[in-house]
Amino acid sequence: MKRVFGIETEYGITVNGVENVDVVAESIELVRCYTEHGALMKWDYNLEDPHLDARGFRADTLMQDTDESVYYELDKNRPLSYEEIKSDLVLSNGARFYNDHAHPEYSTPECTLLKDIVAQDKAGERILAECVRRRNKKIAPEREVRLYKNNTDFVGHSYGCHDNYIMSRTVPWDRLVTDVVPFLVTRQIFAGAGKLGIEGEGSAGQPGVFQISQRADFFSVLVSIDTMNRRPIVNTRDEPHADPGKYRRFHVILGDSNMSEFATAMKIGTMALVLELIEKREAPQLEIAQPIDASKSISRDQTFNWIIELKDGRKISAVDVQRMYLAKALKYCDRSQPETDWLLTEWEKLLNDLDVEVMRCVDRVDWVAKKYLLNTFQENESLEWTDPWLQSIDLEYHNITWEQGLHFELVRQGRMQRLLSEEEIKNAIFGPPETTRAFFRGRAVARFTSQIQTIHWDEVVFGHDSTQTRVAFNHAAEDERLFQLNNIMRKASSYEELIYWIQKLDQGG
C-alpha cells in the first residue's frame, strides 16, 4: 500500500461516586498529567479551518458551533484561556494529545504501515492509562477516574473515533461518495465494537438489544461537514494537511473505537485498499437504497444475516457487499507487497468466517468478543438481557487500564489475536514512525522542545536568538524533501547543526 493514514480517538470519562462530572475540567487534568512528555500549548490554530467543505465552498457556520458554544458559555467561568482549555500537547512519537471539549483526544502520528498504525493506536491507550494512574494518585481513592475507549455514554451521547487517509484530489468528490458509501455502511461487520441498547442523540437507550456497532445510531444524513450534530456517513471537511492542489484528507467519522489489534488493522487496511480502487476507477458499482437506514439495520440485526436493499431493488447481504470490494482488490491491488497480501488473505478469511458462524471471529472482532463475554456472563448469572449489570460488562470491555479492562483479560488469556509484541507498543509510546513527517515532528519535540515556537501537522517553526526557521511539509510521506529532513533530524548533533542543515537544504545545497 502507498497510503498515509491516522486515527483520532476520543475517550470517555467516569469518576467513581460522581454523577455529574465536570468532564471538561477532568479532561484537562488528564491531559496535563502528561505535559513533561511533549510540547505544551504550541499548536498553531491559524493553520486550521474546519469550515472548508470538500464540495468547493466554505461553510459560514457548522451545526456543532451551537453545541460548542454551550461549552464556551460554561468555560467563561473558568480562569483559563482557550489555549489552556485545549491544553494541546505534541508528543515525542509525533502524536497530538489534547482536550476536545469533554474528552481527552489522542491523534496518532501519520503512518504508512499497518503495524505502525496499530502500534501508535495502542501507544495512545498506554499513554492515557498512565494519565489515569497519575490522576488517581492526586485524588481521593473513592473518586477513582476511569477512561474508556468506546463511543457512547448509553444515554444518547456519542464521541468519535475518526480514521483519516491522504488521497489524490483528482478523484471527483461525487464519485468518491458514490464509490465509498456501500463499503463504509458494511465495514461495521468486522470493525464494529458492539454494544447493548439502542440510542438516539439526546435520548436514553433502549436496553436489551445487542448491536454490532456503537456509532450506527448516531448518523442521520448522507453527506455533511458537521461531525457532532446531524452526523453524516461521509464527512466533507476539507483540511488536507498537505498540498491542497494535489491531495485531500478523507476524514471518516463512521467508525467505532477498536480494542482488537486485528480489527484496527483491518479497518484501516481495507479502507486504504478501497481508496486505491476508487483512485483507479475500479470500485464496485452499486448503490444502497437507504444508506442511513441500512447502517442501523445492519448494526441491529439479531440474525447476523445483514440483508439490505439496493437502489435497483435487489437484496444483498453486507458480507456480499464486502466480497465485491474484496474481489476488486484481489484483481487490482499489488499483492507483491507483504501488508497488502496479508490484508487480502485475512479479509477473505474474515468474510468467510462471518458468513458461516460469527463466533469463529471471537479472537479478532471486537463485537464478537464482547458478545461472547455478555453471553457467558448472562448465562452464568441467569440475567435478563435488560439487566444493567450487562451494560457495565459492555463498558468495562473498553476500560484502558490493563488490570481492569475486560478486553485485556481476553488478551492475557490468549483469546485475542495479536499483531504486536509488548516491546513494539512500548517503543511506539516515545518513538515516531520513520516513514512520514511524524518522525521529524516527534524527534523535534523530544530533542528541541524549548526552541519550538509553533507546531502543526504540516509544519514546525523553530525560534532562537531572534531568528526563526520554518520547516514546512507539503505531503506526509514519499516526498524527497521529507526524506532529507528526516535524515537531517537523525544526524544533527545539536540545535545549531539542525538549523544549519535545514537552511542549506532550503538554499538548494
| Active site (annotated) includes residue 100 | yes
The pairing of beta strand 231-235 with beta strand 219-224? parallel
509: CB partners within 8 A, 6+ apart:
none
The grid cell for 369 is 468478543
Q: What is the 3-state secondary structure (H, E, C) of 126-138?
A: HHHHHHHHHHHHH
456: β partners: 459
435 DSSP assignment: S
For residue 351, the surrounding DSSP H or E stretch is: helix 338-356
CB neighbours (10 Å) of residue 2? 12
**Gap between the Cα atoms of 257 and 298, Å rounded:** 18
Burial of residue 417 (number of CB atoms within 10 Å: 0-12, 13-18, 19+): middle
The grid cell for 202 is 439526546
Candidates 44, 49, 65, 100; catalytic one: 100
| Pick from 1, 458, 442, 60: nearest CA to 240 | 458
Q: What share of the chain is helix, strand, coil (3-state, %, to 5)?
A: 45, 20, 35
CB neighbours (10 Å) of residue 506? 13
CB neighbours (10 Å) of residue 32? 16
**Gap between the Cα atoms of 232 and 334, Å rounded:** 32
**Gap between the Cα atoms of 415 and 396, Å rounded:** 17
402: CB partners within 8 A, 6+ apart:
129, 408
CB neighbours (10 Å) of residue 71? 13
**Gap between the Cα atoms of 12 and 153, Å rounded:** 8
Q: Euclidean distance between the first and final Cα of the chain, in Å?
A: 32
The grid cell for 172 is 471527483
237: β partners: 53
H helical segments located in 1-58: 23-32
Describe the crossing of helices 366-381 and 388-396 by its angle, rounded to 10 degrees: 140
Looking at residue 460, its amino acid is V
Q: Where are the beta strands (DSSP E) in 23-109?
A: 38-40, 52-53, 57-58, 89-91, 96-99, 104-107
Active site residues: 100
